[in-house]
A and B are shown apart, each in its own frame.
Chain A
């Protein structure tokens, strides 16, 4: 404890001694330390989260009353395009990659990622990709094509300004950043584990990052190719998606969803990993069925590559394809169900602590379950025919991505914040944040299922008063308004606790994985000596030499 304290003050003194902002700025912009790059990723994503959230609030304000004229239709189209693009590409993926960047080398007992400079390249490419997309506002307006960018809406004929080009270029550049991160994770996890840490002993979060990276490797390049085709269409007169000259809108949907569907799992698998770290620690039990969980992760990654056309049931594919993609989509629920029951079994009979990470983990379990169930509904093709492109779908995927990824992510951020900063978050603020988020979230996305069943299409900027949709839209907007203070509380909490939070010590949660074996925050070299691991819970072994885990594994 004393050593940790000393190191922390040494570090602070160094920062002060290096004199002022320029030194700190230089330090952070040239860093190749995986921990600093991880922090940069997370901070960037939080900024984009606020921007994407503001876009959502603007849209919800416009939909508060029927025939409301708060926003013009074109602005509304730009807002939902930017909201979707931002949340998927510049919040979801980078924040998960950031957390992975920080934690994976620590968890596997390595000193850094395999390719530190490529790691820095990945972050800056992602950031500049985001800036490129947002620079479209300087050219007279954001793209108005939806985050899915369906052809032929993206052709010159329908999208005349440079905004669409900037959108495609931005995703191209950030895609290169994501790809380098994926390569880096795979090599790091496969090649840099400390002695004794076989693939059967890696912490579960590292395991999910491995499979997310495999999906990145297979899903991002097709998107890159498709974006190149769009750019060639728009700038050199090619005809890939130019339906007037034989091009195919159908091809775009296939290529986009071949990326877009695995993307859902790229976003949710790391959250699964975080939950799988948190639930055991706060239940004081080992993760139930580690091998089954691992196999289920691999199965999800594998199956998810073959289900993309369930986004296209209403396009008019053949009956055979509809049947195949419906069946394959339903298949995903089997490994996901395995995971679910294993999480529950981990808690069963455990001594559960209701600290904020566990609270968010509970939020994850209950909310993700509902999102999964509406997903099963949508995988059934005839049901999908009825509700495709309605608010039911909007409700479903927000339920999955917020109930799954975001709750999982908040659980993780609350769990690992003490490791990153050396300070505890305020538990009071965390609890308030949780309940506001949960209530706001249910009120926002629950009624969307109902307005969808009542026939409200997505992407419309206003609606007629006689459809019975007002009340559901108003509850939705109210829910969005309740979510705002929740996010604000989180930002206040991380800033306030950084200066005023109680000191955390090396291992505040009495956890079991290697990142807790070093100081909080860890030194630049992570570990003084490379560790040797003999079981899945090396810190348990260390704390209980009389009864180590390797006797049972």
Chain B
């Protein structure tokens, strides 16, 4: 047996007919690992909830109105990124860029709201990461969510830049689609975090 050529004669595309493209699968696998990561942070948050001997407690420190307002911005951005993708699908690059930029701005506003919330917590309530267990777990959980929002914003800027060069297309597993999947995931995490930290945990 000298070579492999007699096994098959036709050239064949790479994928073995799976439902998802390779990059889509990669993103799903990555997001599964992210679920494991955030679950661990949430477990740590719940472990120490109410175990503090010194204040401030979540009830004293957390402002529900601020959280609700910032949540509205973030959840709205999931809608706008969907509309951006739809415009891309319809072939309107300008429409895509408009909705995509709006998504970026909504995400950035959410981040600014988090920054405002943190500055209030530090200034008014003297809550830092080293203050008590609530501070340790709260800043870690919210901080990692904010880090993920920031990464999403950077990715959005990159896609926006590519779209001006005409390199963004509506295709399964394309960059715009993957960023939007990631963004929806970040929003879903926020819904869980919001329910646990701001509603149930208070």
Tell me the A residues contacting B by CB distance below 8 Å: 1-4, 110-111, 114-115, 179, 182-184, 186-187, 190-195, 197-198, 217-222, 224-226, 228-229, 232-233, 236-240, 245-248, 251, 255, 258, 506-507, 517-519, 527-532, 538, 542-543
Contact = CB atoms under 8 A, between A and B. Distances in A.
Interface stretch (B35-43, B107-115, B152-160): B35-43
Contacts of B164: none
Contacts of A228: 140, 144
A232 B14 contact: no
B141 to A, nearest CB: 10
Nearest to A539: B1
B110 to A, nearest CB: 22
Given A190-B18, A229-B44, A247-B133, A531 B8 contact: yes
Contact of B29 (A1, A111, A186): A186
Contacts of A182: 29, 33
Given A247-B136, A532-B8, 4 more contacts: A183-B26, A221-B40, A233-B136, A246-B53
Contact of B40 (A183, A222, A531): A222
18 contacts: A187-B25, A191-B15, A191-B20, A217-B29, A222-B40, A228-B140, A232-B136, A238-B130, A238-B135, A238-B139, A240-B44, A240-B133, A255-B40, A506-B2, A527-B4, A529-B5, A530-B8, A532-B12
Given A232-B129, A232-B140, A542 B1 contact: yes
B33 A246 contact: no
Interface string B29-72: 11011101101110110011001110000000000000000000
Contacts of A538: 7
B25 A229 contact: no
A246 B51 CA distance: 7
Nearest to A228: B140
Interface in B111-165: 129-130, 132-133, 135-137, 139-140, 144
Contact of A217 (B36, B44, B132, B139): B36
B36 to A, nearest CB: 4
Nearest to B6: A542
Interface in B143-193: 144
Contacts of A111: 14
A197 B16 CA distance: 8
A114 B30 CA distance: 14
A36 to B, nearest CB: 20
A528 B32 contact: no
B136 A240 contact: yes
A187 B53 contact: no
Contacts of A198: 16
A224 B21 CA distance: 28
Contact of A517 (B4, B11, B40): B4
B90 interface: no
Nearest to A505: B1
A239 B5 contact: no
Q: Which residue, of B5, B9, B36, B129, has the highest number of chain A Cβ atoms within 10 A? A: B36
A348 B44 CA distance: 51
Nearest to A237: B130
Given A218-B36, A222-B36, A3 B3 contact: yes
Given A236-B129, A246-B132, A221 B34 contact: yes
B133 A183 contact: no
Contact of B18 (A191, A219, A531, A532): A191
B14 A110 contact: yes
Contacts of A530: 8, 10-12
Task: Please list the 8 inter-chain residue pairs (A to B) with the smallest Cβ-Cβ separation, ordered nearest first.
Answer: A237-B130, A221-B37, A238-B136, A225-B40, A221-B36, A532-B8, A193-B16, A222-B40
A226 B29 contact: no
B25 A186 contact: yes
Contacts of B7: 517, 529, 531-532, 538, 542
B195 interface: no
Contact of A248 (B1, B22, B47, B130): B47
A221 B30 CA distance: 10
A235 to B, nearest CB: 10
Contacts of B139: 238
A192 B32 contact: no
